[in-house]
Amino acid sequence: MARRSSMLGYVMWLAGAVAVSAAHAQSVTEWQTQQAAAEAKADRIMAEADRHKGLLTQYMTMREGYASDDSRAFRMIFGQYIGWYLSFLGDYPLATQSFSIAQPPRPDDRPSPLESGYTARPALEAIPELASNYQIVLLNEAHNIAMTRSLTVALLSRLYAQGFRYFAAETLSQSDTQLQTRGYPTVDSGFYTQEPVYAEMVRTALKLGYKVVAYEANSDAISPDQREAEQARHLYERVFKQDPHARLVINAGYEHIVKSGIYLGGQSMAEHLYKLTGASMLAIDQTTMYPHPSRQDDHPYYTAVMKQLHPDAPIVFVDAKGKPWSQRPAYDVTVFFPPEKLERGRPTWLTLWGLRRPYLVSADGCDGHYACLVEARYSNECPDAVPADRMLLDLQPMVVSISGIKAYSSTQGVPSGYLYLRPGSYRLSFVVAGDKVQERTTIVVPQTP
C-alpha cells in the first residue's frame, strides 16, 4: 500500500470536510461509517486488480468495480482510485471527471492578483527566474490531474540551467536501484510513474543529468506527521548530508510542500525538511487554479483571470518588485493553468507546453478489438518501460457519476486519435483483452511538422 499512501490521508481529510456539508441529510457519524466501508471495498477491488499483471486488465477490473456501486460514499473514494488508472491509460478528461476537488474561496486567500498590482507572466519564464535565489524548489500536483505535472516537465531543463542538480519524486520506489543508470522508469519504478506524463518527468530529469532521488517513507504503520518527518529525513540523508549546498527540485502531492501551518495534525514534509537543512525554499502550488469539470468548482479568482486574460499557457503573477503572488500564505507562487482544449478527445496540453507534438494514429491496429490500448515507447527502451504516451480507444462507454453528474470516456467511439510525442523513433503497440498485443509497428515523429 505504500505506493499510493501519499494521497489516502488527504482524501479521508477531504471526506471529513464533505461530511460537514452532508450533515443536513445524515449524521457525520453515519457518513464516516459509510466512508470507512467504502474505503474497505475500494481497497478490495484494487487488490483484485493488482493481481493482474497488465494495465488494461487491471483497469477493466477497476471499471467493473466502479459500476457495481453507485453510492455517494463509494464513488467519492473509488473515483479517486479509478481516476489514477484513467490517467495511466491516457484518458485525462475522464480522470478529472472521476475525482475533482472544488476550490471555493478560503478565509486565508490573499486578495486577487487582478486587484492588487500584479502582472501576469508566463510560468516557464518567471519560475526559473524566481528559483535562482533558492536552494530548494517545491512543486506539487493533484495525482489524478496530470495537467498539474505537465509544467514541471517543461521547467526541468530551465531549472537545470539555474544550477539545480537533484530531482526527488514522492512516488519513486527505493527498490528500483537501476533507475539512474537505466535512464527511464519501468512499471516497477513507482505507482504514479505509470502515468506517461509523470514517467516523462522522471525520464527528462535523468536525460538532463539530474541525480534522481526516491524519498518515500518505508512504512504505512506510522502517523501522518511521522511519515512527513521520515520523508524529510530521507531527503536530508540522500542529498544534503553528502552535499550541503545541493540544489534540489521536489515533486510531491498536494500539501506536502506547504511551508507553514498544520498539515494532517502535524507538519508537512517541507516544514520538517527546513528544520533539518535550513535551506531556502520556493513552494509552488499547482493544485488549485486549474479547470474543473464543473465551472462552479473553479475558484472565483481562476474564473476572473481566465475571463480577463485568456492565457493559452500556464501563468503566474509577479508585482513590480519581482515578488510572486500566491493564493495562500503557505505557498510562494500559485500557477494558473489555461482552460483545457480537446482534439480527437485528448487535451492539447499534452504537448507539454512545446516539447511534444500530436501524431495521428489509426485504430486499424486494434483489428476491431475493443477496449484497445495504444502505446508508444521510445525505440531504445525496454518492453516494460512506461510509454511516452498511451491512449485508450473504446466503443463501450465508461461512465463516471458523482452526485448525479455523468461523463463519458473522451475516446469512446473514436476510430483514431493523437498521441503526443517528442521527435524520434517509437515502437507502437496495440493491446486488447487479456493484455494481448494485437499489433506492433515502428513510427518516426519528424523534427518538423
Does residue 95 sit within a domain?
A: no
Examine the domain organization and report whether 76 and 123 are in the same domain: no
Are 367 and 321 found together in one domain? no
Same domain, 68 and 119: no
CATH code, 427: 2.60.40
Categorize the per-residue pLDDT at 22 as very low, low, confident or very high, splitting at 50, 70 and 90.
very low
Distance from the first to the final alpha carbon of the chain:
43
Cα 406 to the chain's mean position, in Å? Answer: 23
The answer on 377 and 253 residing in a single domain is: no
Same domain, 278 and 368: no
Closest by alpha carbon to 359, among 388, 399, 381? Answer: 388
Structural contact between residues 387 and 55, judged by C-beta atoms closer than 8 angstroms:
no
Domain tally for the chain? 3
Q: What is the mean pLDDT of residues 388-392?
A: 96
Q: Select from 55, 88, 121 the last residue of a domain.
A: 88
Could you write out the DSSP letters of every residue in 26-85? S-HHHHHHHHHHHHHHHHHHHHHHHTSSSHHHHHHHHHHHHHT---HHHHHHHHHHHHHH
| Higher-confidence position of 31 and 385 | 385
Q: Which residue has the cell 519504478?
A: 189
Residue 13: pLDDT band with limits 50, 70, 90: very low
CA distance 10 to 13: 5
Q: Assess whether 225 and 324 both reside in one domain.
A: yes
The torsion angle over the Cα atoms of residues 373, 86, 222 and 167, rounded to 10 degrees, is 70
Q: What is the pTM of this model?
A: 0.93
Residues 84 and 117 in one domain: no
Question: Taking 60 as the threshold, does the pLDDT of residue 82 lie above it?
Answer: yes
The tens digit of pLDDT for each residue in 400-419 reads 765 444 555 555 555 789 99
For 371, the domain range is 356-445
Q: Are residues 326 and 234 in the same domain?
A: yes
Domain shared by 364 and 311, yes or no: no
Mean pLDDT, rounded, for 149-170? 97
Q: Do 176 and 188 form a contact (C-beta atoms < 8 A)?
A: yes
pLDDT in tens, 314-342: 999 999 999 999 999 999 999 999 999 99
Q: What CATH number does the domain containing 237 carry?
A: 3.40.50
User: What distances in angstroms separate CA 368 from CA 89, 103, 432, one per listed residue?
Assistant: 19, 42, 10
d(CA 330, CA 335): 14
